[in-house]
Structure 1
Amino acid sequence: MSFLAALRFLTAIPIPFKREQWDRPLTQQQFARSLVYYPLVGLIIGGILCGLYWLFSTFLPSILTYALIVSSLAFLTGALHLDGLIDTFDGLAGGHRSPERRKEIMKTPDVGAMGVVAGVVALLLKFAALASIPESHIYAALVLMPVLSRWSMVYAVFHYPYGRGAGMGKELKSGSSAWVLPTASVTAIIFVAIAGGWLGVISMACIWLLTVVLAGFFQSKFQGLTGDNYGAINEIIEFAVLLLVVLFSFNNWL
């Protein structure tokens, strides 16, 4: 049940179960345990992206293929994390606002100019990074990207305080057991090692450092992390993984 909760929460993939099964609310513990499956959901997303890439690249030119992959990722996730990135940058805009005011701005339904710019830039950067990855590394990149970005959210949930009095992020954090992060981390290491070899392992180490920096920055601005911040971390990490693959492949470091 926790795995299906993770799949349903992180993706827009239809769940082939009777509706009445989903009408029963999850317990806090079941919802919190879903964190352990985030890397697995990332692997599923990566597998779908690999299949779509093979299909698109067989019949379409490269540039259109990359654009469709970026679009497919947004649709597969229901733009959940992209929305978090947009809201986070809206909250950061405007200079010397208080953390409380920043969090209020993130909750409003309106979208500011900074958020729109951040969303557009994120999509453009992902497209450009994908277009820069050689064919020999593209499938590894499409797996590493969603696995490591979802793992980074698990790490952020566990190691940084939640910034609101209530919310899904608070339920995830307060209801989780101590074994969830180690289990998710081991699972992620296995996935990235199989998919990318040393590239995957080195990328995970770099992503851990970047997650620490990002989470620490957001904590300083919002007095704790929110669900929108988790989404922003996910989006930034997705691009960072692609950038790492570009760096290693372009410079022949592996």
Structure 2
Amino acid sequence: MSLRRLILATQFLTRLPTPQVGEFQPQELNRCAVYFPFVGAFIGTLLALPLLGVEHRPWLAAVLALLAWVWVTGALHLDGLADVADAFGAAHRNPERFMEVLRDPHTGVFGVVAIVMQLLLKLVLLSELAGGRWAWGIVLVPAWARWATLWWSRHLPPLQPGLAERFSWQLGMPGVWLWAVVLALPTLWLAPPLLLALPLAPLIALYWRRRLGGISGDCLGASTEVMESLLLLALVALVRG
């Protein structure tokens, strides 16, 4: 394990304090991406603490978990979700405007609504999981979502210069599949429905290929949020079952 790359992955995906890394080069993002699922599992562990520690007050547990989720990630993927929602809203009648709006740093009505709805959905789903026997499955939700970014970046070309372009890392598919196996083993024990991530990642990639022909950094962020919500839904369905 390369400690430097793990630190870089942690710095990029979270707001957690880490040792300073000097002389950072943008291309190093390619190399540190292999640790994204590991960082995702650490994020999930933080989310599990309130869900299991305040199990008798599910709504309080859900609020604390959601606050931790937004804080530790710095709302990185929510920002991408908002930008994509604005772009889709503006391109409803004029598809050519999608990329133009995507590059606009301002957040419009569609973006605000998307963020609010996403946070409400996560809050309700987290409350359903709080204190349940499958609550530990939350550890694997962010891990699988960040594994999916490896898949999307390996199978989709970048739409524009930026994060998606730097995410065209040299990590080969054997590395992606190795992480799939590593995550699948605890998933089978903790929360089998999360194996939905295995077909879901290619389906989302297929959607972006047909819709846009590629992917951008904002699309990666939006897809991560969608993946997390769908996996939470799968966990809640298991609880209800």
Task: Give the TM-score, by structure 1 length.
Answer: 0.85
Given the superposition, is the C-alpha separation of residues 177 and 229 from structure 1 closer, same or farther in structure 2, using an over 3 Å criterion? same
User: What is the rounded CA distance, in whole Å, between the counterparts of 2:210 and 2:125 in structure 1?
Assistant: 29
Q: Structure 1 unaligned runs (5+)?
A: none
Given the superposition, is the C-alpha separation of residues 177 and 183 from structure 1 closer, same or farther in structure 2, using an over 3 Å criterion? closer
Q: Structure 2 unaligned runs (5+)?
A: none
Among 7, 10, 24, the alignment partner of 2:10 is 7
After the TM superposition, which residues 72-111 of structure 1 pair with which residues of structure 2 at under 5 Å, given as runs? 72-94=68-90, 95-99=92-96, 101-111=97-107
Paired position in structure 2 for 1:42 = 40
User: What is the rounded CA distance, in whole Å, between the counterparts of 1:131 and 1:98 in structure 2?
Assistant: 38
Q: Decide which moves more: 75-84 or 103-112.
A: 103-112
Task: Assess if the C-alpha contact under 8 Å between 1:35 and 1:184 holds in 2.
Answer: no
Paired position in structure 1 for 2:128 = 132
Q: Decide which moves more: 223-232 or 30-39.
A: 30-39
Q: Which amino acid aligns with 1:250?
A: R
After the TM superposition, which residues 155-234 of structure 1 pair with which residues of structure 2 at under 5 Å, given as runs? 155-164=151-160, 166-173=161-168, 175-178=169-172, 181-197=173-189, 199-200=191-192, 202-204=193-195, 206-234=196-224
Task: Assess if the C-alpha contact under 8 Å between 2:86 and 2:111 holds in 1.
Answer: yes
Task: Assess if the C-alpha contact under 8 Å between 2:58 and 2:128 holds in 1.
Answer: no
Given the superposition, is the C-alpha separation of residues 132 and 27 from structure 1 closer, same or farther in structure 2, using an over 3 Å criterion? closer
Among 107, 111, 125, the alignment partner of 1:115 is 111
User: What is the rounded CA distance, in whole Å, between the counterparts of 2:171 and 2:232 in structure 1?
Assistant: 31
Task: Assess if the C-alpha contact under 8 Å between 1:85 and 1:231 holds in 2.
Answer: yes
Paired position in structure 2 for 1:68 = 64
Q: Can you list the C-alpha shifts for 1:117-175, whole angstroms capped at 9, x where unaligned?
A: 111111111111122236111122x11211111111111111111111x21221220x4
User: What is the rounded CA distance, in whole Å, between the counterparts of 2:45 and 2:190 in structure 1?
Assistant: 20
Q: Percent identity?
A: 27
Q: Can you list the C-alpha shifts for 1:172-212, whole angstroms capped at 9, x where unaligned?
A: 20x4132xx43243234323422552733x522x2232222
Q: Which amino acid aligns with 1:33?
A: R
Q: Can you list the C-alpha shifts for 1:54-112, whole angstroms capped at 9, x where unaligned?
A: 44x17x8321210121121011000000101111111111313235x212212212111
Given the superposition, is the C-alpha separation of residues 162 and 27 from structure 1 closer, same or farther in structure 2, using an over 3 Å criterion? closer
User: What is the rounded CA distance, in whole Å, between the counterparts of 2:57 and 2:171 in structure 1?
Assistant: 47
CA RMSD of aligned residues (A): 2.1
Task: Give the TM-score, by structure 2 length.
Answer: 0.89
Given the superposition, is the C-alpha separation of residues 97 and 211 from structure 1 closer, same or farther in structure 2, using an over 3 Å criterion? farther
Q: Which amino acid aligns with 1:8?
A: Q
Task: Assess if the C-alpha contact under 8 Å between 1:85 and 1:232 holds in 2.
Answer: yes
Aligned residues between the structures: 236
User: What is the rounded CA distance, in whole Å, between the counterparts of 2:140 and 2:121 in structure 1?
Assistant: 17
Q: Which amino acid aligns with 1:138?
A: A
Given the superposition, is the C-alpha separation of residues 74 and 66 from structure 1 closer, same or farther in structure 2, using an over 3 Å criterion? same
